[in-house]
Structure 1
Amino acid sequence: MAVPEKDRQPGSEIADPRNEVGELVGRLAAPGELEPAERRRLLGRLAQALSAGARKARATGVGRGRWLADVFLNIAPRIPIRDLHTLAEHHHGLTGEELADDLVRTAQKATMTVGAIGGALAAAEFAAPPLLLSAPAQLVAETIVVAAIEVKLLAELHEVYGVRVEGSGAQRAIAFTAAWAKQRGIDPLAPASVSLALGAATKTALRNRLMRTLGRHLTTFGPFLTGAVAGGALNRMATKKLGEAVRNDLRVKLPRDDRRDPIEPRHRDELDP
């Protein structure tokens, strides 16, 4: 049943799961390598798709931070989260701490690439001043994609450390998003953590985290290719810091008897017949 116009959340009109925004973010955050040209093309399409929603939000008086948070909450269920078995398959049979290491490295590479591509696009826009009108939408697109990659990393680290989050797919996505906003792991001994994920304090934390990420991407507007270097490096460091914080948090939050790798690591030479 369609949601009445008056009951719709800001951002939902362009971030509906059936809409292009959710599809593009899912593709940009999905595992596997994307060719630079394809990633650049998808990021450009995402910026275009977001620009109309941003203009509508400004026209209705919705603050950028609130609109950005609402958009992200609408697309969070589209972020592809892999279970432990699939993670091991995609990462050459690695398990335990080795798998966690590889997940963080992969996420760092992905967010670094988004920052570098954004910087390259910004450099081109400095060479063509009229295109600077599209700059804000580009920054929003970069911010949403980096946030999606990091939420995905956080969720998959929970799989690696055996910290199960109960609830439907949408509920779990929101809980992981709330954890990302606080840069923390989810406490498995707090069953209300999922149901409280959309509280006012959490929404404020998400809005603030997204705006800080957006501010970080302002560095991509440095002249020539300095923006690409700065944007990539800052994203890489931020993702690494998140990975370390969440891993430390999950180790502490595991029940005492389970503070070990959920699956014993195997040597690579044991994986081949």
Structure 2
Amino acid sequence: MAEKDNQQTDNGIADPDKEVGELVGRLTQPGELEPAERRRLLGRLARSLSTGAKRARETGVGRGRWLADVFLTIAPRIPIRDLHTLSEHHHGLTGEQLADDLVRTAQKATMTVGAIGGALAAAEFAAPPLLLSAPAQLVAETIVVAAIEVKLLAELHEVYGVRVQGTGTQRAVAFTAAWARQRGIDPLAPASVSLALGAATKTALRNRLMRTLGRHLTTFGPFLTGAVAGGALNRVATGKLGQAIRADLRVKGPSLPSSDSPDELSP
């Protein structure tokens, strides 16, 4: 097994399936990443995903189903912080002010991913042969943006005191299912975790990921127009998700102290 982990393929990737989870985990860790490092990690993620996509095509698996399977595999690697850690990382904020800051931070992160993707696409327009890598780049952007938004959704549950029971993997799947439906999890419905992997949930996840993928098609504009569009659309979508989840959790969880500035974070 160690030999397999150390053995590299021709494109420099040791274990594509494992590396996808590790790269998404690094790209969604708290804190700022240098633009060059984020760009490098996104490039590695695109190469890893292209290997998996090739295998999926060979076995006749559709893109939507493959994308959903990939995301369910990496979901448990998304780093979710507890309430105490969240407050520490956000300068001691609590309640609605902490929720404001979480949404704002997530918007900045998804906007950055869209902008980097657009900049890479602009470079590819200058070198047409590189357009062959475009689908893998779009999938990489989609996976990372979805992971950032699932992380936001999960951490908003912490802020609003809506506890989700289960193992780490069960909770990750439940949060992913909630993201697919753009809704919070009902703590009074225990089956919401155990039934999260049902057929309807997988369909909802596949559809949500494909819509996110379609949004990233805007990054393929000439020059840097794609970077501007990709970043702006991601920021708006993440802001809308944050508002929807917060409205849901205010009903399902205990009341929180009000913020001086409501969660009107989308432009």
TM-score by length of 1: 0.88
In the other structure, the counterpart of 1:211 is 210
Return the alpha-carbon distance in structure 2 between the equivalents of residues 227 and 103 of structure 1. Answer: 26
* CA offset digits 1:175-223 (Å, max 9, x no partner): 0000000000000110110000000000000000000000000000011
Return the alpha-carbon distance in structure 2 between the equivalents of residues 30 and 234 of structure 1. Answer: 22
In the other structure, the counterpart of 1:179 is 178
Matched, 1:29 2:32: no
In the other structure, the counterpart of 1:140 is 139
The amino acid that maps onto 1:212 is R
Unmatched 5+ residue regions in structure 2?
A: 1-14, 260-267
Return the alpha-carbon distance in structure 1 between the equivalents of residues 222 and 124 of structure 2. Answer: 10
In the other structure, the counterpart of 1:198 is 197
Return the alpha-carbon distance in structure 1 between the equivalents of residues 201 and 126 of structure 2. Answer: 41
Matched, 1:163 2:162: yes
In the other structure, the counterpart of 2:51 is 52
Tell me if structure 2 keeps the 8 A contact 1:47–1:141: yes
Matched, 1:92 2:87: no
Return the alpha-carbon distance in structure 1 between the equivalents of residues 84 and 51 of structure 2. Answer: 40
The amino acid that maps onto 1:242 is L
Superposed structure 1 runs of 4+ greater than 6 Å apart: none
Tell me if structure 1 keeps the 8 A contact 2:97–2:258: no
The amino acid that maps onto 1:167 is G
In the other structure, the counterpart of 1:124 is 123
Aligned 1:109-120 pairs, distance under 5 A: 109-120=108-119
Return the alpha-carbon distance in structure 1 between the equivalents of residues 247 and 79 of structure 2. Answer: 23
Return the alpha-carbon distance in structure 1 between the equivalents of residues 143 and 258 of structure 2. Answer: 35
Q: CA shift at 1:264, angstroms?
A: 8.8
Q: CA shift at 1:115, angstroms?
A: 0.1
Matched, 1:105 2:115: no
TM-score by length of 2: 0.90
Tell me if structure 2 keeps the 8 A contact 1:80–1:152: yes
Return the alpha-carbon distance in structure 1 between the equivalents of residues 133 and 58 of structure 2. Answer: 17
* CA offset digits 1:217-270 (Å, max 9, x no partner): 00000110000000000000000000000000001123xxx3x11x798xxxxx
The amino acid that maps onto 1:89 is E
The amino acid that maps onto 2:240 is K
In the other structure, the counterpart of 2:61 is 62
Matched, 1:71 2:70: yes
SS of 1:55's equivalent in the other structure is: helix
The amino acid that maps onto 2:228 is V
In the other structure, the counterpart of 1:246 is 245
Tell me if structure 2 keeps the 8 A contact 1:181–1:205: yes
Tell me if structure 2 keeps the 8 A contact 1:95–1:264: no
* CA offset digits 1:33-68 (Å, max 9, x no partner): 000000000000000011011011111110000000
Q: CA shift at 1:14, angstroms?
A: 4.2
Superposition CA RMSD, Å = 1.4
The amino acid that maps onto 1:107 is A
Return the alpha-carbon distance in structure 2 between the equivalents of residues 252 and 98 of structure 1. Answer: 18
Unmatched 5+ residue regions in structure 1?
A: 1-12, 266-273
